[in-house]
Amino acid sequence: MNILVVGGGGREHAIIKKLRENKTVDKIYALPGNGGIAQDAICVDIGAKDLDGIVEFASANNIDYAVVAPDDPLVLGCVDRLNSIGIPCFGPEAKAAIIEGSKAFSKDLMRKYNIPTAEYQVFTECAAALKYVEKCNIPVVVKADGLALGKGVIIAMTREEAAEAVRSMMEGHMFGSSGDSVVIEEFLEGPEISVLSFTDGETVVPMISSMDHKRALDNDQGKNTGGMGTIAPNPYYTPDVAKRCMDEIFVPTIRAMKAEGRTFKGCLYFGLMLTAQGPKVIEYNCRFGDPETQVVLPLMETDLLTVMQATTAGKLSEIDVKFSDDSACCVIMASKGYPESYDKGFEITADEDFNACMYVAGAKAQEDKLLTNGGRVLGITATGSDLKEAIANAYTAVDKVHFDNAFYRKDIGQRALAALSDK
């Protein structure tokens, strides 16, 4: 079987390594992939948003199955385009990917179907939004409606900050047309839980839960990033919480999308907050999370390609998707300066006794060397029989990887460990 994977980050590397475990897989093409992914797949220099290029490549290269991993091509309709030339895909069609593509859509969906989430209002006029923030409770959360590279959320601690956020999104076009409409929502508090799920539109199968660490610095200080590390499972996701999530959030969401004529097939990511009133949805993503995938897939025991194909075929209920009882920890090694400016082009090396998983996010190959080429450079994942061991193994592995200006958080998993010791 020849498989095409759209995307080129650490998440895609984790997906590709897992797909490789299936013996029927011959070639895997990554569009565009990266210098590290090139060790596990054939990388082709076609951008993830270049739908014409992707379709042309797929039709010329005997592709049997495609996995579209990032949000942009999904929202732009990459799956629709590949399906139209007869290539089955893992991922939602554009009309379902809107669950991530428009926050106004997802909030309205939750309101209509009684799915627990923060109270909110949608604004398309700047003056009305400004008037609203003069009176609303503070802190308040201001979100650009459309995709904004994970940066379209501003938590305003004061009325002035809220007004500034509204102005910069709606008048300053800080996130381009993504900010033409904004969602202003209630500030929620509590630990966050990420749950990725497989769904074929009828059945929803949650994967092992995880916890992201979004801030750049230790103790959740510094700027928001794409994610500096993850652990799985998330200790806040107890069996009781899992049951409530299934009954109040996961199943109602899948049914709501179907009822709206937007059946969702693929990986639906639930970003949840465990509030005093119970779990609430912070956001939906129409795809695997990054770097959640880098801890979830290493713990998956069932063959990934088999589960993906069952999802596409609407036969997920026939499969028993199993995860190991172990824990996993992924530490992101970034370039110093990320998420702002940073230098790149430094050689990446690993000691001979490095024995963890190295998922490459931002690196390029030059001759036989691997050079840093992005903000988030590597995700180093290790597993262990419990969380403590997984964290220790991950940091032991991180110590064996070297590049100039390397920067990483030292406390990935500490909040989860503290939660475990409180139990």
Give contact residues for ligand GLY (rule: CB under 6 A): 150, 212, 227, 285, 289-290, 292
Q: What amino acid occupies position 296?
A: V
**Tokens 């759209």, residue?**
6
**Of 43, 282, 330, 332, which one interacts with ligand AMP (CB under 6 A)?**
282
Q: What amino acid occupies position 122?
A: V
Between 279 and 309, whose beta carbon lies closer to ligand GLY? 279
Applying CB under 6 A, the span of 105-113, 179-187, 259-267, 399-407 interacting with ligand AMP comes to: 179-187
C-alpha to C-alpha distance for 146 and 221, rounded to whole angstroms: 26
Residues 240-259 that bind ligand AMP (CB under 6 A): none
67 neighbors 84 (Cβ within 8 angstroms) = no
For the bound state, the minimum distance from the C-beta of residue 62 to ligand AMP, rounded and expressed in Å, comes to 38
Q: List residues bridging with 51 in a β-sheet.
A: none
150 binds ligand AMP (CB under 6 A): yes
**Of 27, 95, 167, 214, which one interacts with ligand AMP (CB under 6 A)?**
214
Which of ligand AMP, ligand GLY, none sits in contact with 185, Cβ below 5 to 8 A by type? ligand AMP
C-alpha to C-alpha distance for 286 and 69, rounded to whole angstroms: 9
153 binds ligand AMP (CB under 6 A): yes
Tokens of 349: 């090396």
271 binds ligand AMP (CB under 6 A): yes
Q: What amino acid occupies position 29?
A: Y
- First-to-last alpha carbon distance for the chain, in angstroms, is 47
- CA–CA distances in Å: residue 351 to residues 115, 308, 348, 356, 384: 49, 35, 10, 11, 21
Cβ neighbours of residue 57 closer than 8 Å, sequence gap 6 or more: 4, 29, 31, 44, 46
Which of ligand GLY, ligand AMP, none sits in contact with 4, Cβ below 5 to 8 A by type? none
Which of ligand AMP, ligand GLY, none sits in contact with 282, Cβ below 5 to 8 A by type? ligand AMP
C-alpha to C-alpha distance for 311 and 314, rounded to whole angstroms: 5
93 binds ligand AMP (CB under 6 A): no
Between 123 and 269, whose beta carbon lies closer to ligand GLY? 269
Between 110 and 162, whose beta carbon lies closer to ligand GLY? 110
Between 185 and 200, whose beta carbon lies closer to ligand AMP? 185
**Tokens 């590949």, residue?**
82
> Hey, how many other C-beta atoms are within 10 angstroms of the C-beta on 162?
25
Tokens of 186: 């209630």
Tokens of 264: 């969702």
Between 267 and 387, whose beta carbon lies closer to ligand GLY? 267
Report how many residues bind ligand AMP under the rule CB under 6 A. 14
Q: Nearest to ligand GLY by Cβ — which residue? A: 289
How many CA atoms, within 13 angstroms, populate the side-chain half-sphere of residue 416? 30
5 neighbors 12 (Cβ within 8 angstroms) = yes
Applying CB under 6 A, the span of 32-40, 150-158, 322-330, 364-372 interacting with ligand AMP comes to: 150-158
Residues 110-129 that bind ligand AMP (CB under 6 A): 118
Between 164 and 186, whose beta carbon lies closer to ligand AMP? 186
For the bound state, the minimum distance from the C-beta of residue 189 to ligand AMP, rounded and expressed in Å, comes to 7
DSSP label at 219? G
Q: Nearest to ligand AMP by Cβ — which residue? A: 283
188 binds ligand AMP (CB under 6 A): yes
Between 93 and 212, whose beta carbon lies closer to ligand GLY? 212
Nearest to 397 by CA among 381, 411, 377, 376: 381
Sites of contact with ligand AMP (CB under 6 A): 118, 141, 150, 153, 155, 185-188, 192, 214, 271, 282-283
